[in-house]
Amino acid sequence: MARVLVVAAMLATTGTRANAQDIVAAGPQRATRDELTTRVAELQSRQNASRGSALGRVRREMSVIQQRLQTGDFRVGDRFVVSVRMDSVRIDTVLVRDSLRVLVLNLPEVSVAGVLRSELEAHINTHVARYVRNATVRTSVLTRVSVLGAVLRPGIYYAAPDRPVSDLLMLAGGPLPDAKIDQFQASRGATRLLDAKAAKRIVKDGSTLEEVDIQSGDEVRFSQQRKINWGLVVQLAFVASSLFFAALQFIQWYYSRQD
């Protein structure tokens, strides 16, 4: 719950005011079903005491949590790592396909529709146990992030949620020479999640993707230092001076004709 409050506070103080209400806290990324259900019950009890914009916020948060409980945390294109220990250890990166089905270790497909992140490991364990005896399964969900801006290889990358946000620089091949490694912007669609001021604090604290609620599909853009194009400045100065002297010569010629 503490992380929810931290994220809510950051969202309230960063980004554009016009879009602030578009981002609604849906609980910690690894919240259990019981925790989310308890939160919905708390919000339902607060409805009668809320009015105006406060009531709207309560209803929006309750709606997104209920939607999460119904549809789960996984979407097409998400990935997670599965480690299966039997006689040996086998590691597989699993892609969530159309209809929210996944293929684990060439076993029959299994659906992750309605599954929360906190439920994934038990869900996959149950599935594997139907076909393989004495197997122990561990899962690690990856976050799909677009890393753009002052990086060597901009693109879409998958990172563990417990990795520091600053590690996204290395995933994208490292910063460009003019990059501001402690300044970035995080966005979800057209809505700003974090601005450069908040980014400095996040880099300093070593905050992780999960701690600042960066989710699959979000965009992180690293800033570049502003450089003065001295070549262009010299050219403009030359043009300006040429125009000035041309105007001066015209004025001299004009008055000499008057004489």
Cβ proximity of 68 and 120 under 8 Å: no
Cβ proximity of 104 and 124 under 8 Å: yes
The Cα–Cα gap between 172 and 180 comes to: 14
Note down the domain range covering 158.
142-224
Instruction: Please indicate, yes or no, whether residues 84 and 95 belong to a single structural domain of this protein.
Output: yes
Beta carbons within 8 Å of 234's beta carbon, 6+ residues apart: none
What would you report as the CA-atom Rg of the chain, rounded to the nearest whole angstrom? 27
Asked whether residue 243 is assigned to any structural domain, the reply reads no
Cβ proximity of 164 and 206 under 8 Å: yes
Asked whether residue 150 is assigned to any structural domain, the reply reads yes
Provide the pLDDT for residue 23.
Answer: 66
Instruction: Please indicate, yes or no, whether residues 35 and 100 belong to a single structural domain of this protein.
Output: no
Q: What is the pLDDT along the chain (259 residues), one digit of tens a residue?
A: 434 434 444 444 444 333 434 566 778 899 999 999 999 999 998 888 878 888 888 889 999 999 999 999 999 999 999 999 888 888 999 999 989 999 998 899 999 999 999 999 999 999 999 998 888 999 999 999 999 988 999 999 999 999 999 899 899 999 888 877 778 888 888 888 877 778 888 888 899 999 988 999 999 988 876 555 556 666 777 677 777 767 777 677 666 766 5
SS3 label, residue 140: strand
Burial class (CB in 10 A: 0-12, 13-18, 19+), 250: exposed
Closest CA to 93 of 111, 85, 105: 105
Cβ proximity of 218 and 146 under 8 Å: yes
pTM to 2 decimals? 0.72
Q: What is the CATH number of the domain that holds 172?
A: 3.10.20.90
Instruction: Please indicate, yes or no, whether residues 188 and 177 belong to a single structural domain of this protein.
Output: yes
**Given 139, 162, 180, which residue is the final one in a domain?**
139
Domain count, the chain: 3
Provide the pLDDT for residue 97.
Answer: 92
The single residue listed with the structure tokens 């869900």 is 123
∠ CA 52-58-60, rounded to 5°? 100
Question: Which amino acid makes up residue 107?
Answer: L
Asked whether residue 251 is assigned to any structural domain, the reply reads no
| Positive or negative: CA dihedral 119, 121, 124, 129 | negative
Asked whether residue 119 is assigned to any structural domain, the reply reads yes
Asked whether residue 215 is assigned to any structural domain, the reply reads yes
∠ CA 12-158-107, rounded to 5°? 125
The Cα–Cα gap between 242 and 259 comes to: 26
Instruction: Please indicate, yes or no, whether residues 181 and 201 belong to a single structural domain of this protein.
Output: yes
DSSP state string for 214-230: --TTEEEEEEE-----H
32 — phi, psi (to 5°)? Answer: -80, 165
The Cα–Cα gap between 226 and 94 comes to: 41
